[in-house]
Each structure stands twice: as structure tokens, then as C-alpha cells.
Amino acid sequence: MSSPEHNPLRDPRDKRLPRIAGPAGLTIFGVTGDLSRKKLMPAIYDLSNRGLLPPGFALTGVARREWENQDFGDVVYEAVKENARTPFHQAVWDRLAEGIRFVSGSFDDPGTFERLSRTIKELDEERGTGGNHAFYLSVPPGAFQTVLTNLSHSGLAEQTEDEWRRVVIEKPFGHDLESAKELNRTVNEVFPEDSVFRIDHYLGKETVQNILALRFANQLFEPLWNAHYVDHVQITMSEDIGLGGRAGYYDGIGAARDVIQNHLLQLLALTAMEEPLSFSPGDLRAEKSKVLSATKPVGPFAQTTARGQYTGGWQGGQQVPGLHEEGGFASDSKTETFAAITLEIENRRWAGVPFYLRTGKRLGRRVTEIAVVFKRAPHLPFDDTMTEELGQNALVIRVQPDEGVTMRFGAKVPGTSMEVRDVTMDFGYGHSFTESSPEAYERLLLDVLLGEPSLFPVNEEVELSWQILDPILDYWAQHGYPEKYKAGSWGPPSAETMLARTGRVWRRP
């Protein structure tokens, strides 16, 4: 007898067989956006090309454009041609194109949702999507409520035993604890928590998942992974681009809300959490929630945090405008484009180890990394002159670009005298497993269709993150202005002083 648990053609030892999503369709609200053209549509093609989408998969776009199915198909085609990771195959595209639909209309018009409802019913009949549909809300946060309410009123959110409905939402998940709770309430009124998938695309990256493999599959690192040996941890996400046209979205949000609340705190959770009982979604989340509950901001904030706004200047051979010249920004805006904070984790493993988080725009270069910096050896049987070029040992997990891991340690300089200098040992994902590394969105979209929630933060994690960040945001709102920093530098001087007061320095990524 076969059952979903026991399919006679599936054998746990058979590692070749991929998990293909069951019959399903994906509806994207806001298909005209950048994200959907650059990431979502190519990811869908790549999945399809790798044979991981169900036969009969359907993609429906909803937007306020007077488009026919064919017009939307052309848009997807262009997006795929331009941005897909895997080579273009006409046969694969033809199968995918058969399932592309477009529903035209605005999000506040119930008629749009009626038409969507009809389209979805047709798809169930023609394509066999089996009543399983995921709704991807690639819309500004202000439109969440409208879309959700209309989904609920039109009956599109109703699930039955063998027909699922899921919703995918993107950051920002609110702008403080209060609004995050409000948003979670709104979403959970329409979709139960296990049908809500919050996309944090960092968690879909191979390197981020590799943090778990690195820590828990090896004997080498975990014994050192605690306050006895670790001096401090730096988590950096820097961008070299400015705001460009996103000022409208960014004003009032700022770097801390935009990046630290979600990406960096998730990276912190994975770096600092205890070993989960298993890799099941429940166990992973339990550990992440535990470590986030133990995480507290370190004060006084005047000395332990830094924020800034970039000014114009020369960056990478181009003259770039400052924040206030970009337009769309109030000249007295306190919105920060650089944020650095100090956190501590109140548990036995990490007591006394500061975690420094920083992010910013228009910094030296685009990089995301986690640097675990170790204490100096308690005793050095060398003269001072022998080790003056020796720094602290470090383990750096490079999340992007050039994904990999670097170790820094001391080695003897060749020659007759004893002299020790820092050297690095490098593991590059690109050298060891090139090209097969899928895009984060591929992994995450597939997980949505499979109903596999491990890589998506739940509302508890979102609320805990705000709880950590809120005191700092409140302090910033009441005290002073962001400092200016030059485009192409590594942030304002206060970022350096916040580490210098304890004799530490930021790593230059």
C-alpha cells in the first residue's frame, strides 16, 4: 500500500531522486517590480530547468497593467533570458510558458480578486494545479493589508484538507515591535502561521546553511566556539551602491531596520545558537529563538552604537552624489545609511563576548561576512619583536561575494630569525563546488512549494529581533543626528571609536 509517507519508488538511500514539488501554482502580486524580474522569474525558470517544478506548474502575475497572458509571458521571457542562471532550453521554456497567466487590476478592487479566483480555478482544471496555490506578495508594506483582506474576502485563502494555500511575504516585517505584532496579527487572521513564509533571502544562501555544517558536522571548530576562546564577533553587510531611486521606501526606515533587524540578526542567531536536536524546522527554530531571547543590546548607546549618512565623493572611479543630493529625502532627515551596534548574548557560552553588527550603503565594497575573532594565546614563548606582526586568529565566513571560509593564523616567516606573521588559509565555494550553487530564491521558492519551513523566520523570531533593536532605535530617535561619512569609506569615525574603547578594531573586509 502506498501513502504519502510511503511511496514505494522513494527510498531514503536513493539520493539521486530530487524532491519535486507536488502540483501547485504560484501567484505573484506586483510582477512589475525589480525583484520579480531580476530574481523571482529567473529562479522559477532555473527550478523548472533543473526539473524540480511539478509538471503543469502555473505562474500567475497580478498587476495594474493592461496586459494579456501573452504580454506577461513576454516579460517573463525577457527576464529569464537576461537573468537566469542555467542555460536557456526552448523545450523547458515552452512547457513553462503554457502555464503563464496574467490578471490585470488594482489590489484594492475586489473585481481583480474575482478574476484571479476564476483564473486559478481554470488552472486547476487545465493544468492540474490541484487547488494548491502560493501567493507571493512582492508589494510595498502599505499594500499588505489590502491584498490580504481581499484574498480572504474572495475565498482565495481558504484551505481544505488536500488543497493548500500559502502566502509569501518579504521584509520589512514592520518598523518596530508594535507594528511587527500588528502585521503578524493581520497576516495570521487570514493565513495560519504554518502557511506564512517570510522570505529572508540570506537564509537561502548556501554559505549561510553552511554555517550549520561547519559548526555541527566538524570536530575542529565547535570546541573553540565559546567565550573561552572567542574574543569577539563582527558581522558585516556592506553595499557599495547608494539609495538610487529607493529614497521613498528608505526614508524613515534606515539601515538598522532594513538590514540589521532581519539579515544580520538571523546570521547572529545561526552563528551563536546551540546545537539543535535535529535539523527539523521545529528544532532549528527553537534554538534560534532561544539565542535571540538571550541577546541584549549593550549600552550606553552613545558609546556602543554608531550611525551615519553618506556624503558625495569619489567611489570606485565614479563621482557619486551624497544622500541629500539623491533627491526624495528631507534635508533634515535622521534616517541612517550606516548603522553599527553592539550586542551581547547572556548565556554561559557567550557571556562577555561582544557581537558587533554593522551595515551601510556606499561603503568600500559590497561584502557580507561573519568574522569570529579569537583571543590571543595566553602565553607567547617568543620575544615581543618576534610576534609584533602577529594579529588575533580569526575565522571568517564570507557570505557574499566569493562565498567561502578564511582562517587567519600566524606562521613563521622564512629566514634565519624567528618571526611570526599572519597568514590565511582559504576555502572558496567557487573552488570546491562551482556552478551548482543555486540562487537563494530558487531554494526558497522550492521550499515554499514543498511546504518546507526550515529556512523561513517565524513571527516569534521577527518579534524577538525587534525587541533587541527597539531600545537602540528609540535612543537614536531622541538623541542627535547621524554622522556624515564619505562615500567609499568604511563608515563614520564613531564606528571606529565604538570598538576602540575596548581596544578592538573593525576588520577590513
* 131 contacts another protein (rule: CB under 8 A): no
Residue labelled with grid coordinates 606582526: 389
CA dihedral 484, 489, 490, 492 (to 10 degrees): -20
Tell me the closest approach of the beta carbon of residue 299 to another protein, in angstroms.
44
Q: Which is nearer to another protein, 231 or 442 (CB)?
A: 442
Tell me the closest approach of the beta carbon of residue 50 to another protein, in angstroms.
10
Type of residue found at 109: D
Handedness of CA 502, 254, 268, 184 (dihedral sign): positive
CA atoms within 13 A on the CB side of 110: 5
121 assigned binding-site residue: no
258 assigned binding-site residue: yes
Site residues for another protein, window 47-76 (CB under 8 A)?
Answer: 48, 51, 54-56
Residues binding another protein: number (CB under 8 A): 43
39 assigned binding-site residue: no
Q: Is 263 a catalytic residue?
A: yes
Tell me the closest approach of the beta carbon of residue 167 to another protein, in angstroms.
23
* 98 contacts another protein (rule: CB under 8 A): yes
Stretch that binds another protein, among 175-183, 315-323, 428-436, 501-509 (CB under 8 A): 428-436
Handedness of CA 263, 267, 268, 274 (dihedral sign): positive
Question: Among 31, 62, 92, 472, which residue sits at the site for another protein (rule: CB under 8 A)?
Answer: 92
* 89 contacts another protein (rule: CB under 8 A): yes
How many angstroms separate the CA atoms of 60 and 57, rounded?
A: 10
The torsion angles phi and psi of 353, rounded to 5 degrees, stand at -100, 110
Question: Among 229, 279, 314, 433, which residue sits at the site for another protein (rule: CB under 8 A)?
Answer: 433
Question: Among 39, 127, 175, 285, which residue sits at the site for another protein (rule: CB under 8 A)?
Answer: 127
Which residue in the list 133, 175, 263, 324 is annotated as catalytic?
A: 263
* 95 contacts another protein (rule: CB under 8 A): yes
Q: Which is nearer to another protein, 81 or 89 (CB)?
A: 89
* 391 contacts another protein (rule: CB under 8 A): no
* 77 contacts another protein (rule: CB under 8 A): no
* 401 contacts another protein (rule: CB under 8 A): no
Alpha carbon of residue 207 to chain centroid: 12
Site string for another protein, 157-196 (x = CB under 8 A): -----x----------------------------------
User: Per residue, what are the HEC states of 177-197?
Assistant: HHHHHHHHHHHHHHCCHHHEE
Question: Among 128, 312, 313, 451, which residue sits at the site for another protein (rule: CB under 8 A)?
Answer: 128
Distance between first and last Cα of the chain: 57
How many angstroms separate the CA atoms of 64 and 107, rounded?
A: 8
Type of residue found at 356: Y
Task: Provide the b/e sequence for 243-268 (b: ≥16 CB within 10 Å).
Answer: beebbeebbebbbbbbbbbbbbbbbb
Best CA proximity match to 29, nearest among 76, 58, 63: 63
348 assigned binding-site residue: no
* 23 contacts another protein (rule: CB under 8 A): yes
Tell me the closest approach of the beta carbon of residue 106 to another protein, in angstroms.
31
Question: Among 34, 82, 108, 126, which residue sits at the site for another protein (rule: CB under 8 A)?
Answer: 126
Question: Among 77, 225, 427, 475, which residue sits at the site for another protein (rule: CB under 8 A)?
Answer: 427
C-alpha cell at 148: 490580504
Tell me the closest approach of the beta carbon of residue 130 to another protein, in angstroms.
8
Tell me the closest approach of the beta carbon of residue 164 to another protein, in angstroms.
13
How many angstroms separate the CA atoms of 478 and 266, rounded?
A: 27
Best CA proximity match to 176, nearest among 466, 457, 475: 466
* 125 contacts another protein (rule: CB under 8 A): yes
171 assigned binding-site residue: yes
Best CA proximity match to 466, nearest among 174, 215, 247, 230: 174
Question: Among 35, 114, 130, 374, which residue sits at the site for another protein (rule: CB under 8 A)?
Answer: 130
C-alpha cell at 15: 539520493
Tell me the closest approach of the beta carbon of residue 168 to another protein, in angstroms.
22
Q: State how far the alpha carbon of 122 is from the alpha carbons of 68, 332, 356, in Å.
A: 16, 53, 52
Alpha carbon of residue 212 to chain centroid: 16
What one-character-per-residue DSSP string does 33-60 give? SHHIIIIIHHHHHHHHHTT-SPTT-EEE
Q: Which is nearer to another protein, 240 or 452 (CB)?
A: 452
Tell me the longest C-alpha to C-alpha distance in the chain: 83
C-alpha cell at 264: 544580520
Q: Check residue 264 and report its DSSP letter.
A: I
Q: Which is nearer to another protein, 9 or 477 (CB)?
A: 9
Chain contacts with another protein (rule: CB under 8 A) = 1-4, 7-11, 13-18, 20, 22-23, 48, 51, 54-56, 89, 91-92, 94-95, 98, 125-128, 130, 162, 427-428, 431-436
Annotated binding site for substrate: 201, 205, 239, 258, 361
Residue list, annotated binding site for NADP(+): 64, 171
Give catalytic residue positions. 263
